[in-house]
């Protein structure tokens, strides 16, 4: 009597549904866990630079063309803004201020604002610009 081996069952192909589910769940995770940046002020056109480091828009103090200071969508002044930053992180010392000025703002007014921020106790003051296409 001759023994014949049983034929092997055909291998099932792996479903791609599981892979799609994993990718979809990862997408949802990164959307939820990602850092959301505050929107830019509508009335401020940022100063342009030809070369700058790429960074996310910060939680900045905005200055309109007319020289009005805005933080979180509300009008403010230099002293109040610096005091609010100090209150957020009292242990940090002199707070860092990120200033986003409108490109139509006169330079003399920008210098006055920087001086007022320094006088109010701000530490490092950074001017936020937008990179132009080269």
**Domain parsing of the chain, residue ranges:** 47-131
Question: Is residue 62 exposed (0-12), middle (13-18) or buried (19+ Cβ within 10 Å)?
Answer: buried
Exposed e or buried b per residue across 30-42, where buried means at least 16 C-beta atoms within 10 angstroms of its C-beta: eeeeeeeeeeebe
Q: What is the pTM of this model?
A: 0.58
pLDDT value at residue 115: 92
Q: According to the model, what pLDDT value does residue 13 have? A: 73
Q: List, in sequence order, every beta strand (DSSP E) within the chain.
A: 47-49, 61-63, 69-71, 74-76, 97-101, 125-131
pLDDT tens digits for range 25-34? 888 888 777 7
Mean pLDDT estimate for the chain: 80
Over residues 30-75, the pLDDT tens digits come to: 877 776 666 566 677 776 666 656 555 567 888 988 989 998 888 9
Query: What is the rounded distance in angstroms from the CA atom of residue 107 to the CA atom of residue 11?
Result: 73
Quick one: average pLDDT of 105-115? 91
CATH class of residue range 47-131? alpha beta
């Amino acid at each position: 009597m001759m023994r014949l081996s049983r034929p092997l069952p055909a291998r099932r192909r792996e479903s791609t549904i599981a892979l799609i589910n994993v990718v979809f769940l990862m997408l949802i995770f990164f959307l939820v866990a990602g850092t959301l940046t505050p929107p830019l002020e509508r009335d401020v056109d940022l100063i342009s630079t030809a070369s700058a480091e790429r960074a996310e828009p910060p939680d900045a103090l905005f200055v309109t063309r007319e020289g009005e200071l805005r933080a979180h969508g509300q009008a403010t002044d230099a002293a109040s803004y610096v005091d609010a930053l100090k209150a957020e992180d009292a242990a940090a010392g002199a707070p860092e201020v990120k200033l986003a000025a409108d490109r139509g703002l006169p330079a003399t007014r920008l210098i006055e604002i920087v001086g007022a921020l320094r006088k109010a106790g701000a530490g490092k003051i950074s001017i936020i610009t937008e990179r132009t296409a080269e």
